[in-house]
Amino acid sequence: MRILISNDDGIEAPGIALAAEAASRLSDDVWVVAPDGKRTAAGPSLTVARPLTMRRLGERRYSCSGTPADCIVTSMGWLFHEDKKPDLVVAGVNDGRNVGEDLAYSGTLGVAREATFWGIPAIGFSRLKEANVREGDATWLAKFIERLWVTRNEWSLEGHWLSVNLPADLPASVSQPSIGRDKIARKVEVVREDGDEFELVVPRGREHTSRKGDENSLIAEGFATVNRLNWFGETQLAGAFMEGLRSATK
């Protein structure tokens, strides 16, 4: 099994080392292609028609000057272009939960989303900041990934991927949450003002608001949460609404 690992925290982040260690217990064909620095909240953005720098750091290990999603595009379009494509893409483990609106902003989940465009099963892993990292975490994570791989036909529909949030302590029971609301950037800070020009900063962090059964509430109870997401943006409009539009535009 060929496993490709990427993230949005950068190739030297502890979380990607944990993911690589876990994957190496399942396969001897593990590749790491990750940004050369932190790319938090890069979402699914791509670098198009501008140069990207790929640097080989070791056997099956590369850094990329672009976004997390760029790492998948360059892997598929260059690294594996004339070679076997990965069987599984693992993103993370992100330094911090990805909940609520993060599902759209997250570079970690941008990796998984991009992988689905190439028809590859993908899992985005995130974990609470300042987690209680222990020696057995990689073993638990490897078993979890293995179980997801074995059951991939049950969750890996076209255009779908998994978002997994890990609690502070492993091992953990697993639960499927509702998607909550935990908005970032409720207040934007003014750091410099010069006449009609303003320099602003969107601060990190969020309020960690929760409601019963959402990601934040279950993570707080010590669960690992699993959601299946998809990139299909289409929701059919009601026939009466469309007929009204047609009538109004005749």
Q: β-pairing, 160-166 with 189-194?
A: unpaired
Residue of 200, 220, 197 lying closest to 208 (CA atoms): 220
Q: In whole angstroms, give the CA distance from residue 8 to residue 47.
A: 15
Spell out where the chain has E strands: 2-6, 29-35, 54-58, 61-64, 88-95, 122-127, 160-166, 174-175, 189-194, 197-201, 224-230
Is 7 among the annotated ligand-binding positions?
no
Q: Would you call 217 helix, strand, or coil by DSSP?
A: helix
175 Cβ partners below 8 Å, 6+ apart? Answer: 218, 223, 224, 225, 226
Q: β-pairing, 197-201 with 189-194?
A: antiparallel
Spell out where 96-157 has E strands: 122-127
For residue 169, how many C-alpha atoms fall within 13 Å in the half-sphere facing its CB? 4
Is 9 among the annotated ligand-binding positions?
yes
Annotated binding-site members: 8-9, 94
Annotated binding-site members for a divalent metal cation: 8-9, 94
